[in-house]
Amino acid sequence: MKESFGAWLKPLRRERGLSQGRTCLRAGISGMTLFDLERDKTYPAAVQAKTLYGLALTLGIDPGELMKR
């Protein structure tokens, strides 16, 4: 079974040495958005593309990889 988006996202952020606050500032998203994504309270498809793009850039991954998840 494929891991959830949140189960993939949170460890990736931590591997990059980023706090939730720093990630939000760099990605231009609210703390609640990141909190909900990491806890699978919000489905990624329901989030604006610019939010996911900002996360991808902040985490240093290809935006396409983030979209696949």
| Average pLDDT over every residue of 21-33 | 95
Q: Is the pTM of this model over 0.85?
A: yes
Q: Tokens for 54?
A: 């900002």
- 8-state DSSP, 61: S
The residue among 50 and 45 whose pLDDT is bigger is: 50
Residue whose structure tokens are 């909190």 = 35
pLDDT at 62: 93
Q: What percent of the chain has pLDDT over 90?
A: 70
d(CA 62, CA 64): 5
Amino acid letter, residue 31: G
